[in-house]
Structure formats: C-alpha cells, structure tokens
Chain A
Amino acid sequence: GENVEQHPSTLSVQEGDSAVIKCTYSDSASNYFPWYKQELGKGPQLIIDIRSNVGEKKDQRIAVTLNKTAKHFSLHITETQPEDSAVYFCAASIWSRGNEKLTFGTGTRLTIIP
C-alpha cells in the first residue's frame, strides 16, 4: 500500500519568516495530494491541494510543489502569522477497491513565534 513520510515533525518559525514542510510517497499511482491544517480538538481543514498533472500551485501565502519523478511534494507558507500555528498533514490519494483512499503523513506541528 501507499506510505507517506512527512518531515519535520515539529517546526518553529519566527513570525514573518517562511515555513516548509516536506512529504514523500511510495506509490507512483498516487495522483492527488492535499494538505490539511488541524487545530487542537478540531477536524482537518483543507488548505491547498495539487493533482499529478500540475507541478506547482499557489494560493496567497500558501504554495505546494510536486515532483512526480522523485515522488515528493512540499508545502510552503510565506509571511507566517501566529494563526498559522497548528498541525499540518500531507496526504496522498490512490484508488483502492473502487474508492479514492487518502493516506496521511505523520503530521508537522508548526509553531509561529511572535
């Protein structure tokens, strides 16, 4: 099955600086890669996603890049703000038994230092 690795597990960044979180996946058949932000006690919230036919996608301060050859994708947050502090999960999607199944990374706890 699919295996998704995520690094780092924790990341502290000074407010205003950039944060980068990296993920690798194992199954070359994966074709959809969403990123989720999870605040304490809440469900994951989709912040950005990318499909395998695109190399990069940007939405204001957030961007995602995908390298299909190397099987890795990254989340970039620029001009970080205190409200960016949360746990971020990457995921890779693959078809399994007739459904699109998400495999999640282990998460990155991002702390923005004011």
Chain B
Amino acid sequence: GAVVSQHPSRVICKSGTSVKIECRSLDFQATTMFWYRQFPKQSLMLMATSNEGSKATYEQGVEKDKFLINHASLTLSTLTVTSAHPEDSSFYICSAQRFTSTDTQYFGPGTRLTVL
C-alpha cells in the first residue's frame, strides 16, 4: 500500500513554455501533498505543501506564480512550471501523506525536467 505515482517521468521542453506534472496517490487518499526539488547529487528541498481544497503554502524563496500547485482532489496534485527556463531544469518529486499529524510521507518516482 501507499503507492504514489508521477507523470510524466521525463519531460523536455523549450524555454518559455509551461509544463504540468501530476502526482497521484494510487491506493489511499492524501490529505496533504508535498513538492520537492532535487538538483544533481544534492538533497531534497521542499518547495511547497498543499492540502486538498486549500491554497498551497510555499517555502521561502519559491515563486508561487512560477510554480503553480493545485490539489483539487484527495488523490491528485499538480505542479505547473510556468514560463520555464533552463535554470528550472531539475528533478521534481512529490510526496503524499494520509493524515496530517502522524503519517509518513510516501514519495513518488520523480519527474526529470529539462528545459532547453
């Protein structure tokens, strides 16, 4: 149990375009989902936290207008990178949590974004 999927696994886009990444909890309802960013050989950095039906909470330094997060249902959250630039190229990983207080975060397989 507690499987999280992401789609797509890899995406290459041109500079200036927008890219949407989906995160789904397959066998449980996720009250909270998280989005992380990971640069090569570095650790995971939290970008934002989203609760179903609420606006996402962004970490300091993360542009909310550039990284649009929607958590419209208990099994789906989306991250849209708007007007992507080469410096946005990274590994984006989501995680999902069943309960906000005591549950583990279960991570998706990640999405490799390359902006040309």
Among the 9-residue stretches A44-52, A63-71, A76-84, the one with 4 or more Cβ atoms under 8 Å from chain B is A44-52
State the main secondary structure of chain B at its contact with A.
Answer: strand
Interface size on A, residues (CB 8 A): 22
Question: Which of B45, B51, B104, B108 lies in contact with A43, CB distance below 8 A?
Answer: B108
Chain B 48-60 near chain A by CB (<8 Å), digits 1 or 0: 0101000001000
Closest residue on chain B to residue A105 by CB atoms: B43
**A-B interface contact total, Cβ < 8 Å:** 54
CB-based contact A44/B112 at 8 Å:
no
Among the 9-residue stretches B14-22, B66-74, B93-101, the one with 4 or more Cβ atoms under 8 Å from chain A is B93-101
Interface size on B, residues (CB 8 A): 26
- Among B42, B46, B105, B109, max chain A CB count under 10 A is at B105
Decide yes or no whether A104 CB sits under 8 A from chain B: yes
CB-based contact A41/B44 at 8 Å:
no
Complex CA distance for A103 and B59, rounded to whole angstroms: 12
Question: Which of B42, B102, B105, B110 lies in contact with A42, CB distance below 8 A?
Answer: B110
**Which of A's residues lie within 8 Å of B, judged by CB?**
32, 34, 36, 41-46, 49, 89, 97-107
